[in-house]
């Protein structure tokens, strides 16, 4: 794991300060932590529990409830394949299989070099442009199996 | 004082009481499982369902969380309530068939079949242990995690929590994982051994020892005597 070996808790302090130590902004704070580390490190959550004075179990409850949060390290790039009904009938399962073959991981996993994570999502709400694949927040519309290597290459440096 | 009707009887409830508390005050029995007097109501087990309102607009609500209202019409044992209650017991049996508490409930309410796949998770997610830990023991060591069918109760990161003092309150209050029912067979998941709780005729068919003081007339001992 080359990308996120050290957990620097200074940025955590900064994030919490930015939200004014407000308990009600827990989800926003967790999102910001995830944006920094690409996942929610256990140490960060323990410190957060002390900073916000929320029991650790409650933070874990929230963090495990939402699919957007991950307690295990994520890759540098996250490819999310939409598996909603509209995308499904247009061949999303085949596209997902192609991603699995290309990256040599299964859905929900991360490659060993820590570069790629593969996720699925139930629906992104933009069914008209399906099948949709989201990579690092960029939406790739009307995806097909043939476009998968092109999409992957764009993010490989 | 709030005036409302339970099973056709006019009752008075204090401000802030729930339907369940009012019914209990008047001695009306509503079965509960996830309710505990010392803990906040949760409304998770749905055993305390009652029907409120009348006619086509009647609906089922959990009485442990529904506050008493002026002019409310409550029925605690309609056909709909009984059916819903049996279904809840059946569903709980499918996840925790070895729980004595749930098997006893099944016997008490005449649940004689279980039509679901046995999952035997030994937890019905009633939240009693979570509330016990937080509200009575001030521990906050365990909580709900994940969502949907993956929902479970555990400590953070599934390791021993620093908050846990090993008080055992969670195990004391658990209806599913402690008391074991020895009855259920693998293929039925239902015990019903406690279904016939009436005392049977004694070995000596003495007029004095018969619990009904009517030896031989109920037919039980006649059959066994030959």
The 10s digit of each residue's pLDDT in B142-181 is 999 999 888 999 999 888 888 888 888 888 898 887 666 6
CA distances from B80 to A5, A66, B9, B49, B51 (A): 59, 35, 20, 10, 8
Q: How far is B84 from chain A (nearest CA, A)?
A: 28
User: What would the mean pLDDT of A67-73 be, rounded to a whole number?
Assistant: 87
Interchain pair A55, B145: CB under 8 A: no
- The answer to whether residue B155 neighbours chain A at the CB level (below 8 Å) is yes
Interchain pair B143, A65: CB under 8 A: no
Instruction: Among A142-151, B13-22, B117-126, B217-226, name the one with the lowest average pLDDT.
Output: B217-226
- The answer to whether residue A42 neighbours chain B at the CB level (below 8 Å) is yes
Between CA B45 and CA B25 the distance in angstroms is 21
User: What would the mean pLDDT of A50-62 be, rounded to a whole number?
Assistant: 92
- What does the mean pLDDT of chain B come to? 82
- Residue located via tokens 């209990």: B24
Between CA B25 and CA B149 the distance in angstroms is 37
User: What would the mean pLDDT of B125-135 be, rounded to a whole number?
Assistant: 93
User: What would the mean pLDDT of A12-35 be, rounded to a whole number?
Assistant: 90
Tell me if B103 sits within 8 A of B93, measured CB to CB. yes
User: What would the mean pLDDT of A124-137 be, rounded to a whole number?
Assistant: 91
Query: What is the pLDDT, as a whole number, of residue B208?
Result: 46
Residue B206 has pLDDT above 50, yes or no: no
Joined together, the tokens standing for residue B17 give: 């009481």
Residue A11 has pLDDT above 90, yes or no: no
Tell me if B75 sits within 8 A of B59, measured CB to CB. no
Query: What is the pLDDT, as a whole number, of residue B226?
Result: 38
Tens of pLDDT, residues B42-64: 999 999 999 999 888 999 999 99
User: What would the mean pLDDT of B118-144 be, rounded to a whole number?
Assistant: 90
User: What would the mean pLDDT of B90-119 be, rounded to a whole number?
Assistant: 86
Identify which of A45, A57, A65 has the shortest CB distance to residue B140: A57
Band (B139; pLDDT cuts 50, 70, 90): confident
User: What would the mean pLDDT of B115-119 be, rounded to a whole number?
Assistant: 87
Q: How far is A116 from chain B (nearest CA, A)?
A: 24
Query: What is the pLDDT, as a whole number, of residue A107?
Result: 87
Query: What is the pLDDT, as a whole number, of residue A37?
Result: 85
Would the pTM count as exceeding 0.90? no
Q: How far is B88 from chain A (nearest CA, A)?
A: 25
Tens of pLDDT, residues A110-121: 898 888 999 899
Interchain pair B163, A56: CB under 8 A: yes
Interchain pair B145, A58: CB under 8 A: no
Between CA B179 and CA B173 the distance in angstroms is 10
Structural domains of chain A, with CATH: 10-65 (no CATH), 77-155 (3.40.30.10)
Between CA B225 and CA B204 the distance in angstroms is 10
Closest listed residue to residue B142, CA positions, set B121, B111, B163, B172: B163
Structural domains of chain B, with CATH: 2-77 (3.10.20.740), 128-173 (3.30.70.20), 199-226 (no CATH)
Interchain pair B156, A60: CB under 8 A: yes
């Amino acid at each position: 794991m080359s990308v996120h070996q050290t957990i620097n808790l200074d940025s955590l302090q900064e994030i919490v300060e930015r939200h004014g130590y407000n308990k009600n902004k827990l989800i926003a704070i967790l999102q910001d932590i995830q944006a920094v580390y690409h996942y929610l490190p256990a140490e960060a959550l323990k410190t957060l529990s002390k900073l916000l004075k929320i029991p650790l179990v409650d933070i874990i409850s929230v963090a495990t409830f939402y699919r957007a949060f991950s307690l295990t390290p994520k890759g540098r790039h996250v490819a999310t394949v939409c598996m909603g009904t509209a995308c499904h009938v247009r061949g999303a399962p085949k596209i997902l299989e192609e991603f699995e073959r290309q990256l040599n991981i299964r859905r929900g996993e991360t490659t060993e070099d820590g570069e790629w994570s593969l996720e699925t999502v139930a629906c992104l709400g933009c069914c008209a442009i399906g099948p949709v694949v989201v990579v690092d927040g960029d939406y790739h519309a009307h995806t097909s199996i043939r476009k998968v290597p092109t999409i992957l290459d764009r993010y490989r440096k | 004082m709030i005036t409302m009707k339970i099973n056709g009887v006019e009752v008075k409830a204090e401000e802030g009481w729930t339907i369940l508390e009012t019914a209990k005050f008047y001695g009306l029995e509503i079965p509960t499982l996830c309710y505990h007097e010392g803990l906040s109501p949760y409304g998770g087990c749905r055993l305390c369902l009652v029907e409120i309102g009348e006619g086509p607009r009647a609906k089922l609500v959990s009485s442990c969380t529904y506050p008493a209202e002026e002019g409310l019409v409550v029925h605690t044992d309609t056909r709909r309530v009984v059916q819903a209650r049996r279904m809840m017991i059946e569903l709980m049996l499918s996840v925790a068939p070895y729980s004595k508490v749930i098997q006893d409930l099944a016997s008490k309410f005449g649940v004689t079949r279980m039509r679901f796949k046995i999952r035997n998770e030994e937890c019905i997610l009633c939240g009693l242990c979570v509330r016990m830990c937080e509200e009575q023991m001030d521990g906050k060591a365990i909580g709900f995690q994940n969502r949907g069918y993956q929902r479970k109760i555990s400590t953070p990161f599934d390791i021993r929590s620093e908050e846990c003092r090993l008080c055992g309150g969670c195990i004391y209050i658990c209806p599913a994982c402690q008391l074991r029912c020895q009855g259920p067979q693998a293929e039925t998941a239902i015990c019903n051994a406690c279904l016939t709780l009436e005392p049977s005729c004694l070995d000596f068919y003495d007029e004095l020892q018969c619990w009904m003081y009517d030896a031989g007339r109920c037919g039980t001992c006649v059959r066994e005597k030959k």
